[in-house]
Amino acid sequence: MEIMKAVLGLEDGQYVVGEGFGVEGEVAGELVFNTQMTGYMESLTDPSYFGQILMFTFPLIGNYGVDTQNFQNPNVCALGCITKEICEKPDTSPSIRTFFEEHELHGLTGIDTRALTIKTRVYGTMRAALVVGSEDGEYAVQLAKKAPDISDITPIPQVSCKKSYHIKGKGKRIAIIDLGIKRNMITSLSRRGGDLHVFPHDATPDKILACKPDALFISNGPGDPKQAKAAIACVKYLVGQLPVFGICMGTQISALAVGGDTYKLKFGHRGANQPVRYTDGRIFITTQNHGFAVDAESLPDGCKVSYTNVNDGTVEGFENEDLELTTVQFHPEAFGGPRDTEMHFFDSLFRRIA
C-alpha cells in the first residue's frame, strides 16, 4: 500500500508531517482534543465538532471498526481526524481507513498527538489546517493563519434541521430547539414517552407555542453561543412561560437569555472523564464537549449554580426555580452506566412537568 503524506499546520508556525488517510484535500479550523478511550465515531459524528479538527489523545482508534449504530448524526461533522495510530484490521468492518476513503473524509495519523495536546493545554486552542496528499508545512501554516476564529463563524444553521418535524410519543409534549442535536438526546427523551416537536435553530416563539408544549428543550450545538442570536431571543421570550431545559450549548443559550454572559475556555472540556459536583455533594463522572462556559458571576438573582467542575470550578449547570429553568453543561445522554447522569437529568425533567 502506497503511503499518502499529510501535514497539520498551526497558526503559530509549527507543522507536523505524517501519514494521511481518507482522500486528498484540505480543511482549516480550530484544533481541539478529546480524551475518550472509546466512542471515536460518536465524537466524529457529534454536530458540536462542526468547524473543528478533532484530535484524539488515546493513541489508537479504530480497533472495533465503524459502529454506525452509535452515530450521533448521519454524517461525520468534524472537519478532520488526527490520531497517533489507526487500527488497520479491526474486529468488525469497515475499518476507519476504509470508511474515510468511501466517505471522502480527511485524516492524519503517525504523529505525536501527546505533544500537540500538551501544547494546546499550555498555549490554548489554536487554528489549524490539515492538508492530505501533501507535506508542504509552510502552505498548511498559511491556511491555518487564514482560518476564521471560532467566534466569527456561524456553524449552527449547517447542523440544525431545515424544517420542523414530529416524533410521536404518548407522554408529555416537548418542544426542542435543534442547534445540532445529538441522536442520544432524542433517544433519552423518547424512551420516557416524550412527544417530541423538533424545531430549527431560528424558530420563532409563536411557532413553538403553536404545538402547545409542556416544556422547551434546548440542544447542544457548535461554535460560539453568542452567534445563536435567534435561539437566544426565542428562549428569552419563552422562559417563564414554559419550563425550560438545556444541555451543553442549551445551558449557555439559557444563561444569555436571562441576562448572563459566556466566555471561551482556554482549551475546553472534551472527554468522558470530567468530574462534576452537584449541590448535594455528590460527584458524577461526565461526558463533555464544549469550548465555552457560563460566567457564574454574571447570572442574575434567582439563578443558582447547581453543578460545578471539580477540576477547574467552572459552571456545569444552573437552575432558576421561579422561571422553571434547569440546565447542565455536560452530556447526561452520553452515560456510561445505569447510575450515571442520564437518569438523574432526564427523569428529573419529566418529574418536573408531570
Q: Using 50, 70 and 90 to split pLDDT, how confident is the model at 344?
A: confident
Examine the domain organization and report whether 191 and 224 are in the same domain.
Answer: yes
CA distance 271 to 134: 30
Q: What is the CATH number of the domain that holds 71?
A: 3.50.30.20
pLDDT of residue 90: 94
Examine the domain organization and report whether 119 and 164 are in the same domain.
Answer: no
Answer whether residue 274 shows pLDDT above 70.
yes
Examine the domain organization and report whether 172 and 123 are in the same domain.
Answer: no
**Domain containing 80: what range?**
4-148
Answer whether residue 113 shows pLDDT above 70.
yes
Examine the domain organization and report whether 232 and 116 are in the same domain.
Answer: no
Examine the domain organization and report whether 221 and 237 are in the same domain.
Answer: yes
Tell me the sheet residues that pair with 293.
263
- Of these residues, 248, 316, 324, 342, which one is catalytic? 248
Mean pLDDT across the chain: 96
For 131-158, what is the mean pLDDT? 97
Q: What is the CATH number of the domain that holds 230?
A: 3.40.50.880
Give the domain-ending residue among 148, 180, 195.
148
Examine the domain organization and report whether 78 and 196 are in the same domain.
Answer: no
Examine the domain organization and report whether 160 and 144 are in the same domain.
Answer: no
Tell me which DSSP letter residue 164 carries. Answer: -
pLDDT of residue 39: 93
Answer whether residue 336 shows pLDDT above 80.
no
pLDDT of residue 91: 85
Lay out the sheet containing 325-328: strands in order across: 165-167, 195-199, 173-177, 215-218, 244-247, 325-328, 315-320, 304-309, 262-278, 283-294
Q: Using 50, 70 and 90 to split pLDDT, how confident is the model at 311?
A: very high
Residues 87-98: tens digit of each pLDDT: 999 988 899 999
Answer whether residue 1 shows pLDDT above 70.
no
Domain count, the chain: 2
Examine the domain organization and report whether 140 and 266 are in the same domain.
Answer: no
Answer whether residue 241 shows pLDDT above 80.
yes
Examine the domain organization and report whether 203 and 187 are in the same domain.
Answer: yes
Verify whether residue 331 is a known catalytic residue: yes
Tell me which DSSP letter residue 95 carries. Answer: P
Verify whether residue 333 is a known catalytic residue: yes
pLDDT of residue 231: 98
Which position has the grid cell 447510575?
Answer: 339
Examine the domain organization and report whether 247 and 163 are in the same domain.
Answer: yes
Give the domain-ending residue among 115, 148, 181.
148
Is residue 2 classed exposed, middle or buried when 0-12, 13-18 and 19+ CB atoms within 10 A define those classes? exposed
Answer whether residue 338 shows pLDDT above 80.
no
Verify whether residue 248 is a known catalytic residue: yes
Residues 19-64: tens digit of each pLDDT: 999 999 999 999 999 999 999 999 999 999 999 999 999 999 999 9
Residues 281-303: tens digit of each pLDDT: 999 999 999 999 999 999 999 99
Percent of the chain whose predicted confidence (pLDDT) is above 70: 99
- Of these residues, 11, 26, 324, 333, which one is catalytic? 333
Q: Could you report how far apart the first and last alpha carbons of the chain are, in Å?
A: 60
Examine the domain organization and report whether 114 and 193 are in the same domain.
Answer: no
Give the domain-ending residue among 117, 148, 179.
148
Examine the domain organization and report whether 9 and 71 are in the same domain.
Answer: yes
pLDDT of residue 277: 97
For 174-189, what is the mean pLDDT? 97
Q: Which segments of 53-111 does DSSP mark as H helices, in order?
A: 96-102
